[in-house]
Chains A and B, each alone.
Chain A
């Protein structure tokens, strides 16, 4: 296998593969993606995969997410059907007292051009007839949706490979050295050299950073998801808490717990999640649950994406974030601009690693 590359991406998840694909649109040769397992074995294969804008706070982060959501229809045109659906998103509330909070959110979004409506009980039930009739209302945004993360990564990889990107899987990076202005990346299957190095190791970013003496403050946050048997299509929207996939399965859950790298599931969270789902959509009580799975979020210490150049290291880039599915097309675009043009079309200084000091 070729050992010299212009650019190496460590991590082939939705973030790393998104970057590799977007880079390959600009130059056809010289990109290698390394993954210690396979590109869907990490967090990108154990996610709800909403492309979600609404109720992200503060509003500048919502705006950033919106730009990425806007790229999805175009992305599907370029790489193929990724089962992206702009369903619209509903965040229900069950107490009338929450309406005021919802109005405030809508107001702050209006200023940045994201339309959020606060729906009455009747409006919610008209849109989503299977919602619990005891709902008080919901915030609604038409830009939210969801995607099939497996198809997304598969299509990224196919398109990237067509453009000359190489993948080396089941190949863990164990050491990174800097010599003569180049990076030498030592992996299980040998050493590779490159000019540009992109760290997209998701929830493992901290240990990859350590190889270069760079602190990437990403923590682990487990989420457990329940999957129903395939049901006839009956949910129209991406509801904050659950969604129905194209094959009819309903994915439920949005739990958060600190459990390190342990991907086990626990009945405590499974039952809480089932209760939440039944509160939202009572009809789900009759659905059979066919499996539960856990994913480990890559959670930057302050909750916001870590993107861009690594301060003090030439040609070294990092992309580590929660909500990587939502942000992937934008991150891919911006990191490509940064490498090719030296600057980005949307400012990303706010997301620099520098902010952690």
Chain B
């Protein structure tokens, strides 16, 4: 199979890259291991803000539906329930439907593989009932399954607070929020207040010492600064942050740098979102953990750059659009992340990790 643009990952960044390229007449293929396009947006019921100016305010799954609808109007081939498992010597991607593997030869590749949640380990943390906040959210909002009845949340980021509220909304009793720092980390103070108003205690400078249970979690010990308390719970949602998913970049031989603000190890890319493999571009959380609005913008920049390389748009026009999107990115993105991103770009020509296959 041949295609102009192969997009790996059909979340918000991949979809916006698809719209930028396909709307300019390019033939686009999106591969995603899920059975539906939209990625993480599908289980996000919260209102997304801030979004780029082209979108009115809306909730996560609504944005997914809007992007999917837009993509349908163009020449885009979705390969759902498919995975990229490697690359052939001629650069073709090897894609599997879990039965066979077939090659897809693309002129350009945009990797928007997203991020993976990190767990928080403590003794017996592998017991069923202990999961990441994203997993709990997926169960509730996408699969309509109650992950438990009595929960604690480990972590206090915006994402963790949002999840706590969603658990509450479906009738799960949130017994505590456990944070090892000495205050809540969330930037949206209203959510923290809402949880407090509902009588949910915040335990700061605290952590789970141990979980217990026969076949699934039933009880935990929490180490507070001056005592240890025991709670009966059947659900622990933990927020260990997220890190870019790097497998495909690794297989492609891309270089990496380390940028704490972007989530750790991140592929190196320039301000056109081109990696040091000239035919490979990057977008979304894979290029640094951010919020949905900025992620859409990164997909748009990658899409514009690929369109330029494939001469679907003039360099002058591409530069103009890119500059405008970068400006919007600077306004929309959390300051810390944006600064980290700019620092990361500066290391493009001097990556920490490169030529990893050359021994």
**Which A residues form the contact surface with B (CB < 8 A)?**
41-42, 261-268, 270-271, 292, 294, 296
Contacts and interface: CB of A to CB of B under 8 A. Distances in A.
B19 to A, nearest CB: 30
A190 to B, nearest CB: 24
A266 B88 contact: yes
B128 interface: no
Contacts of A267: 85-88, 94, 101, 103
9 tightest Cβ-Cβ pairs between the two chains A and B: A267-B94, A264-B357, A267-B86, A266-B89, A263-B357, A267-B88, A268-B89, A263-B359, A268-B88
Interface in B182-206: none
Nearest to B91: A266
Nearest to A257: B89
Contact of B101 (A41, A262, A263, A271): A271
Contacts of A262: 357-358
B253 interface: yes
A260 to B, nearest CB: 8
A209 B251 CA distance: 32
Interface string B342-359: 000000000000000111
Given A266-B87, A267-B86, 10 more contacts: A262-B357, A262-B358, A264-B251, A265-B86, A266-B86, A267-B85, A267-B87, A267-B103, A268-B88, A270-B86
Contacts of B359: 41-42, 261, 263, 296
Nearest to A46: B359
Interface residues of B, number: 13
Nearest to A266: B89
Contacts of B87: 266-267
A265 B357 CA distance: 9
Contacts of B103: 267
Interface in B242-294: 251, 253
Contacts of A265: 86, 251
Nearest to A263: B357
Contacts of B88: 266-268
A294 B251 CA distance: 12
Contacts of A263: 357-359
A295 to B, nearest CB: 9
A271 B102 CA distance: 10
12 contacts: A262-B358, A263-B357, A263-B358, A266-B87, A266-B88, A266-B89, A267-B85, A267-B86, A267-B87, A270-B86, A294-B357, A296-B359
B357 to A, nearest CB: 4
Interface string B72-109: 00000000000001111100001000000101000000
Nearest to A295: B359
Contacts of A266: 86-89
Interface centre among B89, B103, B253 (most CB of A within 10 A): B89
A266 B91 CA distance: 9
Contacts of B253: 264
A65 B87 CA distance: 37
A292 B94 CA distance: 14
A263 B357 CA distance: 5
A296 B359 CA distance: 9
Contacts of A294: 357
Contacts of A261: 358-359
A32 to B, nearest CB: 23
A262 B359 CA distance: 7
A270 B85 CA distance: 11
A324 to B, nearest CB: 16
A296 to B, nearest CB: 6
B245 to A, nearest CB: 17
A38 to B, nearest CB: 12
Contacts of A42: 359
Nearest to A259: B89
Nearest to A274: B101
A228 to B, nearest CB: 15
A179 B206 CA distance: 64
A213 B201 CA distance: 74
A105 to B, nearest CB: 33
B251 to A, nearest CB: 8
